Amino acid sequence: MNVNSKIRYLAQTVGGCALMLLASVSMLAFGAENFTASQLAESVYLVKGPSGNTLVAADTDGLILIEGVPAEYAGEYLAFVRETTGQQTIKALVNTHWHPESAGLNASLVGKGTAVIAHANTKQWLGATIRKRGDTIVHTPVAKESLPDTTFHDTYSIPFRSGTIELGHLLQAHTDGDIYAWFPAQNILYTGPVVLQDAWSSVDETTNGFIGALMEALDTLDAIAQETTAIVPGSGSVMSKAQYSEQMAMYKKLMEEMVALLRQSRSAEEAVIANPATGLKPEWGDPSAFLDQGFRSFYGHLRDAQHVGVMP
């Protein structure tokens, strides 16, 4: 029995209460070993798994997957979303960035009737050898057959039901290929890893993530979201606009304190020791990676004549 059948059954047996819950964010969840699903709007499902959140949009002729999963979970995930929605065809997959948790489905779907959509920079990183600070190899090229086959630079529209899913580039935020997904008719905004609700949103300075651009990305998402928008972060719970605004204000304050440390000629190591994030989100764990990567991301931008994002 798929999700829609289960909802109809519950509606019949509990007087329609289940359908009332779907007016906002459904509290009905359906699980597998590693994945659970809940319905955010008609034909749009939030699927939570080991690497965070994905969205599954059930169109009339197939599924549109917003974000992937690590390759080791590909088979289980695909079986789960097909069972959840009752649809077998996967017509599109969106990689929000190049990291394995986003691109792990590509090998299972590229060349099999699925359009794999990504920013042009994401395709370049997936096909390259990436070294952290010029030394440690953190990524080797994926097979050509696993690269996205549809790329864009600024914006891209995917037809969905009677409307669209709007993709947009968040320039040099988490990486230099990050994109968001906006569902105007359903009032749902997927942020990808630029926003996390249960962990620190670290930048990947190896592939041109920059904390100043992260702040601009937060502004971009803030301008899209309305008061009633369901904001789906890369991981953690769905956020309201008020919750998002509070989190954004925290990051803006941290940015100011990191800039102050930079102007004192502190190093990244000293910024981590100073820890301006002390006491802010203890449930998120150690903020050292966020502080270290964010602080180091200043350096390349200070050397450049042209800048992206907020500069100190």
32-303 folds as Metallo-beta-lactamase; Chain A (3.60.15)
Average pLDDT over residues 156-176: 97
Q: Where are the alpha helices (DSSP H) in the chain?
A: 3-13, 17-21, 74-85, 100-103, 106-109, 120-126, 211-224, 241-263, 268-274, 288-303
Residue 92: other Cβ atoms inside 10 A? 21
Burial readout 54-75 (b: 16 or more C-beta within 10 A, e: otherwise): bbbbbbeebbbbbbbbbbebbe
What is the C-alpha to C-alpha distance for residues 249 and 158, in angstroms, rounded to an integer? 32
pLDDT, tens digit, for every residue of 221-275?
999 999 999 999 999 999 999 999 999 999 999 999 999 999 999 999 999 999 9
Position 2 pLDDT exceeds 50: no
pLDDT at 135: 84
Q: Which is nearest to 243 in space by CA: 222, 214, 216?
A: 222
pLDDT, tens digit, for every residue of 6-37?
333 333 333 333 333 333 444 345 556 899 99
Residue 90: other Cβ atoms inside 10 A? 21
Tokens representing 268 are 């990244």
The model carries a pTM of: 0.88
Q: Within 13 A of 89's CA, how many CA atoms are on the CB side? A: 8
- 132-136, 139-143, 272-276: which range is least confident on average? 132-136
